[in-house]
């Protein structure tokens, strides 16, 4: 399947918005007293004003059929559990033993979308997805793991966080697939509102049970940064929901991962003073070669 120019533009715009969201969210986490779970809840519910405005546009508020419910529950459930596992993974193990395994999300997308959506990329596109996954994996490796790759692989059995992150990649891939299935029965703005409400209210419930609702307060001390982050989040989610019906989920996930990693490299150097090494540039070039094949 060749991407149309419209689908490609939506995919690039969504991926760029996700990159902006990742950078501004990272800045928000530096606010003293901010809890990761509280931040996730606030960012989910904070998108609602944007989505309600979108819903008010002509044609946006059509009621979905009953077939929508299980698909929407799948989307919310998989993304929610994936987020909780992600937070647990980075608390349990070093980042160098967790983040690289998130790169396997496009691989899971290829396998699962073939089963659940009857989607399968062509041979060149599959090769491109493989290069993007390899480049993203290498980009996130610590130098010592690159020298001894077997150590990282052994970490799958030693480090609980590594397995949790693999599970996160699997669940987030399923979340995107169920988003696409849900969009067969509902408009994009309806689904955006349902997901934001379901995700945010569930996380608020978790915070209430834990007695951690007070963690919502610190983030509100940075209203400007919070507003920019919410705008990026709403744009990313909205554009993704517009793109998914027009593109294979596996190709969307691969391009999103590639652009996200490249932007993380740029934003890391610009905003956080992170070094840009030859290894990182080579890994980014590898992902770029993968993009060429995906678009072939």
Over residues 180-220, the pLDDT tens digits come to: 999 999 999 999 999 999 999 999 999 999 998 888 888 77
Residues 229/21, Cβ–Cβ less than 8 Å? yes
Can you read off the two tokens belonging to residue 123? Answer: 């041979």
Residues 109/82, Cβ–Cβ less than 8 Å? no
Which pLDDT does position 156 carry in this prediction?
A: 57
Which pLDDT does position 205 carry in this prediction?
A: 94
Dihedral over Cα of 271, 128, 10, 236: its sign: negative
> Tokens 């993968």 — which residue?
290
DSSP at 100: G
For the chain, the structural domain boundaries read 5-294
Of 142, 149, 140, 102, residue with least CA distance to 253: 102
10-residue block means of pLDDT along the chain (296 residues)?
Answer: 84 92 84 83 95 88 88 96 86 71 87 93 90 81 63 61 86 96 95 96 94 83 89 96 95 88 80 78 85 79
Which pLDDT does position 159 carry in this prediction?
A: 66
Of 117, 132, 236, 126, residue with least CA distance to 177: 117
Dihedral over Cα of 179, 184, 189, 191: its sign: negative
Residues 80/199, Cβ–Cβ less than 8 Å? yes
C-alpha to C-alpha distances, 24 to 28, 29, 176, 278, nearest whole angstrom: 6, 9, 22, 26
Return the number of other C-beta atoms located less than 10 Å from residue 8's C-beta. Answer: 18
Which pLDDT does position 28 carry in this prediction?
A: 84
First to last CA, the chain: 10
Helix, strand, coil: what percent of the chain each, to 5? 80, 0, 20
């Amino acid at each position: 399947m060749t991407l149309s120019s419209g689908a490609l533009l939506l995919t690039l715009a969504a991926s760029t918005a996700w990159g902006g969201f990742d950078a501004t969210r990272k800045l928000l986490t530096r606010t003293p007293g901010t809890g990761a779970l509280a931040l996730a809840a606030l960012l989910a519910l904070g998108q609602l004003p944007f989505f309600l405005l979108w819903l008010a546009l002509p044609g946006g508020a059509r009621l979905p059929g009953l077939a929508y419910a299980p698909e929407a529950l799948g989307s919310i459930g998989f993304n929610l559990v994936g987020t909780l596992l992600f937070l647990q993974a980075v608390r349990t193990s070093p980042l160098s033993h967790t983040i690289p395994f998130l790169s396997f999300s496009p691989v899971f997308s290829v396998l699962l979308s073939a089963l659940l959506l009857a989607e399968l990329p062509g041979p060149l596109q599959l090769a491109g997805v493989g290069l993007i996954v390899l480049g993203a994996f290498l980009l996130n490796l610590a130098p010592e793991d690159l020298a001894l790759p077997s150590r990282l692989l052994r970490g799958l059995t030693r480090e609980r966080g590594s397995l949790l992150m693999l599970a996160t990649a699997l669940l987030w891939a399923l979340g995107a697939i169920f988003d696409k299935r849900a969009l067969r029965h509902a408009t994009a703005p309806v689904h955006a509102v349902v997901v934001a409400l379901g995700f945010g209210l569930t996380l608020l419930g978790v915070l209430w049970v834990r007695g951690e609702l007070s963690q919502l307060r610190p983030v509100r001390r940075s209203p400007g940064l919070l507003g920019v982050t919410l705008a990026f989040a709403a744009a990313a989610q909205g554009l993704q929901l517009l793109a998914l019906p027009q593109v294979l989920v596996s190709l969307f996930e691969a391009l999103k991962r590639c652009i996200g990693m490249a932007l993380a490299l740029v934003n890391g150097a610009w905003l956080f003073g992170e070094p840009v090494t030859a290894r990182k540039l080579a890994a980014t070039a590898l992902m770029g070669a993968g993009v060429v094949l995906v678009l072939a």
